[in-house]
């Protein structure tokens, strides 16, 4: 069976005020979620106009900008100001060749047919891509039957939708619309790391400060994906500057 992912017609996102109606070629957009009403607009258009489209094969959604793949994009922020940064594998070791070798802050991905809603898709992706530790002991959120224990995840992690993201500067961004979420451990003894295991597509991770990220980028030690740099500028760096102002 061909993989199918959740999409929303671009025209419906424009009608809901979630995307600008004017020409957006070569531009990037970030809108902060200021109220439940902002989030409700996305939920409403998802419920009324969302559908599933084939990710691969003929007539796939990767080549159709009129259908926007909705991505939950969560970044991990610690109380000391550091945030989680990881690097994707390079070359043929990463399925999405357009993102191979780049660094990212985003944990998450597509909503699939097995997911109940967009929020659950983020919890599922978080469980697949990351490992949570409490007092240095790994915590499992998946039962032997493969069912996620959402109440347990919510007990340890605070996940807040904070913005909508769109990047029309490259082929990947043109077919994706993102919901940016902040993931915060609820206690100092809770750690989150990226899974580096056989079959996983990521090769390293670390927690960095905003200044360390800037220095690594200026030294060309990292090549951030488009959404990561937008989230860094609009959320991580901005919040850091506001705290020190």
| Residue 214 included in any domain | no
**In this predicted structure, what is the pLDDT of residue 176?**
95
| Residue 50 included in any domain | yes
Structure tokens at 9: 């017609």
DSSP 129: H
What does the radius of gyration of the chain's CA atoms come to, in whole angstroms?
A: 18
Beta bridge partners of 244: none
Per-residue model confidence as pLDDT tens digits over 142-186:
887 788 999 999 999 999 999 999 999 988 899 999 999 999 999
**In this predicted structure, what is the pLDDT of residue 74?**
97
E-strand ranges in the chain read 4-9, 28-32, 51-54, 67-76, 83-88, 103-104, 107-110, 130-134, 137-139, 157-167, 176-185, 190-194, 202-208
List Cβ neighbours of 230 (8 Å cut-off, separation of 6 or more). Answer: 28, 30, 165, 167
The mean predicted confidence, pLDDT, of the chain is 90
| Residue 213 included in any domain | no
**In this predicted structure, what is the pLDDT of residue 21?**
83
Residue 150's Cβ-side half-sphere holds a number of Cα atoms within 13 Å equal to: 11
C-alpha closest to that of 87 among 196, 201, 204, 199: 204
Tell me the C-alpha distance between 203 and 194, whole Å. 9
> Above pLDDT 90, what percent of the chain?
70
Q: Residue 199: is its pLDDT beyond 70? A: no
- pLDDT grade for 100, boundaries at 50, 70 and 90: low
- pLDDT grade for 2, boundaries at 50, 70 and 90: confident
| Residue 239 included in any domain | no
- pLDDT grade for 226, boundaries at 50, 70 and 90: very high
| Residue 220 included in any domain | no
Burial of 76 (0-12, 13-18, 19+ CB in 10 A): buried
**In this predicted structure, what is the pLDDT of residue 1?**
53
C-alpha closest to that of 39 among 117, 155, 130: 117
Average pLDDT over residues 78-89: 92
Per-residue model confidence as pLDDT tens digits over 22-47:
777 888 999 999 888 899 999 999 99
Number of domains in the chain: 1
Domain enclosing residue 8, as ranges? 4-75+106-194
| Residue 93 included in any domain | no
| Residue 129 included in any domain | yes
Which residues in 114-149 are b (16+ Cβ under 10 Å) and which e? ebeebbebbbbbbbebbbbeeeeeeeebeeeeeebe
| Residue 64 included in any domain | yes
**In this predicted structure, what is the pLDDT of residue 30?**
94
- pLDDT grade for 96, boundaries at 50, 70 and 90: low
CATH number at residue 160: 3.90.79.10
Cα dihedral sign for 161, 46, 43, 174?
A: positive
Average pLDDT over residues 52-64: 87
**In this predicted structure, what is the pLDDT of residue 92?**
60
Edge-to-edge strand ranges of the sheet holding 130-134: 137-139, 130-134, 190-194
């Amino acid at each position: 069976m061909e993989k199918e992912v959740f999409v929303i017609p671009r025209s419906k996102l424009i009608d809901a005020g979630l995307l600008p109606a004017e020409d957006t070629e070569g531009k990037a957009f970030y809108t902060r979620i200021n109220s439940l009403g902002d989030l409700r607009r996305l939920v409403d258009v998802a419920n009324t106009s969302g559908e599933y489209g084939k990710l691969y094969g003929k007539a796939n959604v990767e080549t159709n900008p009129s259908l926007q793949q909705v991505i939950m994009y969560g970044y991990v922020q610690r109380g000391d100001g550091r945030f989680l940064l990881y690097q994707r594998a390079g070359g043929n070791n990463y399925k999405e060749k357009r993102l191979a070798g780049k660094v990212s802050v985003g944990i998450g991905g597509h909503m699939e047919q097995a997911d109940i809603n967009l929020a659950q898709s983020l919890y599922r992706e978080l469980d697949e891509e990351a490992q949570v530790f409490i007092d240095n002991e790994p915590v499992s959120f998946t039962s032997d039957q493969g069912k996620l224990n959402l109440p347990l995840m919510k007990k340890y992690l605070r996940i807040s939708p904070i913005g909508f993201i769109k990047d029309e500067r490259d082929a990947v961004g043109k077919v994706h619309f993102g919901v940016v979420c902040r993931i915060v451990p609820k206690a100092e003894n809770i750690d989150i790391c990226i899974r580096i295991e056989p079959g996983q597509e990521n090769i390293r991770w670390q927690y960095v400060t905003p200044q360390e990220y800037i220095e690594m980028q200026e030294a060309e030690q990292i090549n951030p994906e488009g959404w990561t740099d937008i989230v860094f500028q609009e959320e991580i760096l901005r919040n850091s500057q506001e705290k020190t102002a």
